[in-house]
Amino acid sequence: MKTAVEVLRTIKNIGLGLSPWVPGETRFGLDSFTAGELTAAIAHGVPGARIERITVNRNAKGTTDRAHLALTWNDAGKAAGLPKSAFAKGTPSTISSRILNAAFGLCDSEVRFYNQLQAAVAEITLRPYVARVRTGGRFAIAVQTIGEDEAHFFQTGDTVPLSHAQGMMDALASLHAQYWESPRFTTDLSWITVYSRRPGWPIGRRVMPYFNSRWLQKRDDVPALVKRLTSFYLQNQAALDRVWEALPVTLCHGDTHAGNTYQRADGRSGVFDWQNVHKLHGMRDVTYFIGWSLDPDDRRAHESTLISRYLDNLVTHGVRNAPDLAVAFELHRLFMVDAWNSAWAPLAIGGMDPGGVGDRLIARFTKTLLDLDTEQALRSAL
C-alpha cells in the first residue's frame, strides 16, 4: 500500500514538474525575492536600513537555477556594513530538473531544513534569509555568502587537504550528535524518512539496475569485481537497507561530497546544499565524504584516524552509544558502496562531465572499493 501511495505521489509531482505553470508561480524562482523581505531578514535591528535594489547575476544551471544576488543598500545599510550579496537557488527553468526536484522532494527537503533545523547547527552551515517551496519543483532559497577571504569553497571531485577532512569530521559529529536517536523523528521531524524511503524511492529503485546493466557493466575502466559487487548490492538492496536501518539513526546530510563543503579561514569546516537529508547511521555521511574527497593514498593513510576523530567528537557531544573504531570501520567498508553508487549514477545519466571529474571519481572509487573489500563486507552483512 505504501508503495502504491508513493508511486501516485511521485507521478503527480512529475506532472506538476512538467507543467510550465503552477498557482503562485511568481513567488518561486530567482526573480521572486523582494527588497522588503530581504531587508527584513538581513537588517533586523539596524534602524533605517533598506535594500534599494537587487541585481540577479545568474550562474550555470544544474539541478536548480542558481544566482548571486547583488544587494544595494541605502546609506544606513552601507554604514552598518550589511551584506552586499546573497546566494540564491530557485525553480529550475529546465523541465528535466523540475521533474527531478519534484519527484524526489529535493527542494522540499532543503527548504524544510533551513526553516526548521538550521538554527540548531548554525555553526556548520550557511544562514538562510528566505526559504519557501511549492509543489512541482518550485522553490526559492536565499542564503548568506562568505567571501573568499573568509572561506574556501571546494568543487565536486576535489581532493581536499587533511585539515579540511579533519574539520569535516568535527562538523559531522556536531550535526549527528544533535539528532542522535532523537525522539523528534516521531514528532515534528517525522517528515525525515529513512534512507530507503526518501521521496520517489519506488522509481529510484528501478532506475539504478537499468543503468547498471546498460552503462556500468559495459565500462572497460571498471574492474570485474566492482561490477560484481555493484550488481550484488542492487539485487540485495532491500535486505541491506534493513541492516542499515536497524542501526542507531541520526539526521544525515546525505550528499557530503567536497563540492558541498567549505573551510573557513580559522580552519573550521562547514556544509551546505541540504537536498538529500534523511535519517540513517552517521557513518554514512562520514564514509561518503571520505570516498568522494580523498585520493586513495591519502585515504589509506588517514581514514582510520579521521573516523576516530569523528567518534571521539560524538562522545564529546554526549552520544553514549557511539560505536568503537572496529565497528565503525566495518560500517565504513559497508557504506562505501552507497557512496560509489552516488558517483557513477550521475555520470551514467549525463549529470557529470565524461572524461573529467566523473572519470576521476570512477578511478578513485574503484580503488577504494577494492582496498576495503566492500564486496566481502556486503556479503557478511547479509
CATH number at residue 166: 3.90.1200.10
Please tell me the predicted confidence (pLDDT) of residue 2. 73
Q: What is the pLDDT of residue 353?
A: 59
Among residues 144, 176, 193, which one ends one of the domains? 144
The tens digit of pLDDT for each residue in 348-380 reads 887 555 558 888 999 999 999 999 999 999 999
> Looking at the structure, do residues 235 and 92 belong to the same domain, yes or no?
no
Tell me the DSSP string of 196-218.
Answer: GGSTTHHHHHHHHHHHHHHTGGG
Q: Torsion over CA of 153, 158, 161 and 162, rounded to 10 degrees?
A: 110
Task: Give 198's contacts (C-beta < 8 A, 6+ positions apart).
Answer: 104, 105, 204, 276, 278
The cell numbers describing 175, all together, are: 550535526
Q: Are residues 135 and 194 in the same domain?
A: no
What pLDDT, on the 0 to 100 scale, is given for residue 352? 56
Q: Which of 144, 170, 188 is the last residue of a domain?
A: 144
| 192 lies in the same domain as 106 | no
Q: Domain of 78: which CATH number?
A: 3.30.200
Domain count, the chain: 2
Rounded distance between C-alpha atoms, residue 332 and residue 323, angstroms = 12
The pLDDT value given to residue 180:
98
Give yes or no: residues 67 and 156 share one domain: no
Of 144, 169, 202, which marks where a domain is finished?
A: 144
Let me know whether 365 and 302 are in one domain: yes
**pLDDT in the model for residue 347:** 87
Q: Which residues of the chain have pLDDT under 50?
A: none
Look up residue 117 and give its DSSP letter: T
pTM for this predicted structure = 0.95
Residue with cell 540513517: 280
For residue 4, the model assigns a pLDDT of 84
Give one word for 161, left, alpha or beta, with left for phi > 0 and alpha for psi -120 to 50.
Answer: beta
Domain boundaries, position 370: 152-381
- pLDDT tens digit string along 65-95? 999 999 999 999 999 999 999 999 999 999 9
Q: Would you say 152 and 95 are in contact if contact means Cβ atoms under 8 Å apart?
A: no
Q: Give the model's pLDDT for residue 351.
A: 54
- Specify the pLDDT at position 48: 97
What's the distance, CA 50 to chain centroid?
A: 33
Q: Are residues 115 and 14 in the same domain?
A: yes
pLDDT of residue 287: 98
CA distance 52 to 33: 13
